[in-house]
Structure 1
Amino acid sequence: MSTVSIILAEDEPSLGMIVKESLESRNFQVTLCKNGEEALMAYEKEKPDALVLDIMMPKKDGFMVAQAVRKQDPFIPIIFLTAKSRTEDVVEGFGYGANDYIKKPFSMEELIVRIKALVNRAEKPQLNEWISLGKYRFHLQKQLLQFNEEEECLTHREAQLLHELIQHKNDLTDRSLILKKLWGSDDFFNARSMDVFISKLRKKLDKDPNIQIVNVRGYGYKLIL
């Protein structure tokens, strides 16, 4: 694997240096930032392959940085490092555009494996067009749902998940495969998070009664049009 460039934002200096040195010893190129404002400036200057963000930081927190980055690049891998561990925190993190969520304390080996997995499967589809979805229209890159003249903004994760379901419309979509592709793993917390986003999508698509997202117990989901 070629050198991967990382923006690492961590406001605790000793932890930041430990993570930076560990990544650099594994052939990563790392820019360490001590707050969210620095991280966003570094992103705009360097256009890295991935971002690893602490959530609770001065000036701009990790959520604010991810939200700003997602407006410029819907596809760059973003991993949150955080001491927050409640399911609601995980769901919130994915709502702001995270690809993965690693709880402190964490193993460096785990972080490295997850970064490599996300960078290896990062996709940048050229989807500068509207997709018909029953009576709706959907735009992945703009993260928009349109119904008649009304437009509704989707979060990054909602748009990703809806796109994945559309790719397999009227067919069963394996729950575990979606979790591994979009969340990084199919563990309990990620599964709970996906259930929340499925519920949100159902509400946003309820103006067309012919659209259903069906839960096939023990397997996954089916988008029926």
Structure 2
Amino acid sequence: MPTILLIEDEAALALIVKDSLEMRGFTVEYAADGEEGLRRFQARTPDIVVADVMMPKLDGFTLARQIRARDQAVPIIFLTARSQTADVVQGFELGGNDYLKKPFSMDELIVRINAQLSRQPTAAVAPAGPLPIGRYRFDYPKQKLALDGGPSADLSNREAELLKRLYDQRNQVLERNTVLKELWGDDSFFNGRSLDVFITRLRRHVKDDPQVQILNIRGIGYKLIV
């Protein structure tokens, strides 16, 4: 059965969530703070992480940053009472996959968990060699992007998958709903915000070649101009 790493400092809430998940067949590893959560993650990589944002010793955002330095693939769901747009965007920028506001129902949490666990993005076909994107060379299998033969920047798995799809549709529109369903599993509001964050990241990666642009096509999607 899938293993969930639950990191929550509110003991009463953690007990309810842990018992409810185990009753539905999940294996739950529990940690009461961010530092313990990171130790448990390093000892045994779970199938998914469910973490509070505001925790002692190591907050959820810092925890996510450290997890993403080690593992780009494991899904992370944030639990938080904070719902400002800036907080949501920061969570996605740090590699979060979903965001659930407290108080929440267990049914909603389980739906979110199952959606992340069942998401199987269709991988783009690996090219024979680095792809030319203006002055950049994109090594899709290795998830690296280099400018003019210089040092390579490492891309996350999600960044590489998104850039490959933009490249395959270069100078044409990549539809937003299509990429959301392929890489995120559905086109919900929070997944849409996550996609926006990754588009912003890619723009930063290619900012040193002014001939390369990633345009918003309002209401439709994005276009890579090379």
TM-score range for the pair, normalised by the shorter chain length: 0.7 to 0.9
Preserved CA contact (<8 Å) 1:8 1:30: yes
Preserved CA contact (<8 Å) 1:56 1:82: yes
Structure 1 residues 142, 103: CA separation in 2 closer, same or farther (over 3 Å shift)?
farther
Q: Distance in 1 between matches of 2:164 and 2:188?
A: 22
Q: Distance in 1 between matches of 2:94 and 2:141?
A: 15
Matches within 5 A, 1:38-187: 38-122=36-120, 131-138=131-138, 145-148=145-148, 149=150, 158=159, 161-182=162-183, 185-187=186-188
Structure 1 stretch 188-197 or stretch 67-76: which is displaced more? 188-197
Displacement, 1:70? 1.1
Q: Distance in 2 between matches of 1:139 and 1:35?
A: 38
Structure 1 stretch 141-150 or stretch 35-44: which is displaced more? 141-150
Q: Distance in 1 between matches of 2:61 and 2:167?
A: 27
The two structures have a TM-score, normalised by structure 2, of 0.82
Unaligned runs of 5+ in 2: none
Q: 2:3 is matched by which residue type in structure 1? A: S
Q: Which runs of 4+ in 1 moved over 6 A?
A: 124-127, 140-143
Preserved CA contact (<8 Å) 2:77 2:98: yes
Preserved CA contact (<8 Å) 2:212 2:225: yes
Preserved CA contact (<8 Å) 2:99 2:190: no
Question: In the alignment, which of 2, 6, 18 is matched to residue 20 of structure 1?
Answer: 18
Q: Deviations over 1:101-125 (max 9, x none)?
A: 1111112112111111111225697
* Cross-structure match for 2:225: 224
Displacement, 1:50? 0.6
Preserved CA contact (<8 Å) 1:75 1:123: no
* Cross-structure match for 1:31: 29
| RMSD of equivalent CA atoms | 3.0
Secondary structure, counterpart of 1:118 in structure 2: helix
How many residue pairs are counted as aligned between the two chains?
222
Structure 1 stretch 148-157 or stretch 173-182: which is displaced more? 148-157
Unaligned runs of 5+ in 1: none
Structure 1 residues 64, 159: CA separation in 2 closer, same or farther (over 3 Å shift)?
farther
Structure 1 residues 189, 7: CA separation in 2 closer, same or farther (over 3 Å shift)?
closer
Percent of paired sites with the same residue:
50
Secondary structure, counterpart of 2:28 in structure 1: strand
Q: Distance in 1 between matches of 2:86 and 2:26?
A: 32
Preserved CA contact (<8 Å) 2:97 2:191: no
- The alignment status of 1:9 with 2:10, answered yes or no, reads no
Structure 1 residues 180, 156: CA separation in 2 closer, same or farther (over 3 Å shift)?
same
